């Protein structure tokens, strides 16, 4: 009986690991060719007009500017490590956002605004990352009272056609093994500990690189 139980637990762990590894299949590479790529900076949508897709969550706290800046640096690090493409930097996007006429940034929908930024940057394809929710872990890595949570979108825009090409969404709250056995693979992949929001964000960015074929 004991051997059978151990076998069943082992089988469940293997299954969970398999499900986790298959959760983010690698897509064909983005057809770059001679196209110029750029990456914008992280923002948190404050109103529906700021969204490129999806909906506004209710009663979400504002994310500190320091966190957004840290996510910019982390995305640049992930792209440098995992992508074979080169991107015009967020600094160029920041400069172009300041150069745009006020009516472009305040009274135009998000798609037109970001495509205007992309044209100013001189790129054909623009990555636009948005961070909707950010909750840091409360507690220690082996005993968290409240787990970390990250809700993040990374969009790929065709600047020339002013269109949305693709989107990678990451909505993750770390759960305990006792809550959902299917999360066993994720928990073990994270070292069997409660991770910080930054760790989840990196996971979401790595997922995006694979999903979007970057």
**pTM surpassing 0.75?**
yes
- Contacts for 131-134 with beta carbons within 8 Å, 24 or more apart? 131/42, 131/43, 131/44, 131/63, 131/67, 131/68, 131/71, 131/201, 132/44, 132/45, 132/54, 132/57, 132/60, 133/57, 133/60, 134/63, 134/67, 134/197
Give 194 or 102, the one with higher predicted confidence: 194
Asked whether residue 140 carries a pLDDT value surpassing 80, the answer given is no
28-42, 58-72, 172-186: range with lowest mean pLDDT: 172-186
37-51, 58-72, 103-117: range with lowest mean pLDDT: 103-117
Q: What's residue 34's pLDDT?
A: 83
Give 147 or 181, the one with higher predicted confidence: 147
Provide CB contacts within 8 A for 34, sequence distance 6+: none
**10 Å Cβ neighbour count for 174?**
23
Mean pLDDT for the stretch of residues 79-102: 90
Q: What is the pLDDT of residues 156-194, one digit of tens each?
A: 999 999 999 999 999 998 765 455 444 555 655 655 677
What span, in angstroms and rounded, lies between the C-alpha atoms of 133 and 59? 10
Q: What's residue 56's pLDDT?
A: 85
Q: What's residue 186's pLDDT?
A: 62
């Amino acid at each position: 009986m004991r051997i059978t139980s151990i076998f069943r637990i082992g089988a469940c762990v293997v299954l969970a690991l398999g499900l986790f590894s298959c959760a983010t299949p690698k897509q064909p590479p983005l057809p770059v060719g001679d196209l110029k790529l750029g990456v914008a900076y992280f923002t948190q949508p404050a109103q529906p007009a700021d969204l490129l897709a999806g909906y506004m969550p209710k009663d979400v706290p504002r994310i500190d500017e320091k966190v957004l800046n840290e996510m910019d640096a982390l995305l640049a690090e992930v792209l440098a490590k995992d992508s074979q493409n080169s991107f015009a930097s967020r600094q160029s996007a920041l400069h172009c956002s300041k150069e745009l006429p006020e009516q472009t940034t305040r009274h135009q929908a998000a798609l037109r605004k970001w495509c205007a930024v992309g044209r100013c940057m001189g790129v054909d394809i623009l990555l636009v990352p948005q961070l909707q929710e950010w909750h840091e872990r409360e507690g220690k890595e082996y005993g968290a009272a409240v787990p970390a949570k990250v809700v993040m979108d990374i969009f790929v825009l065709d600047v020339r056609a002013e269109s949305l090409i693709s989107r990678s969404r990451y909505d993750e709250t770390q759960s305990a093994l006792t809550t959902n056995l299917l999360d066993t693979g994720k928990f073990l992949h994270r070292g069997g500990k409660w991770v910080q929001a930054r760790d989840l964000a990196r996971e979401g960015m790595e997922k995006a690189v694979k999903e979007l074929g970057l």
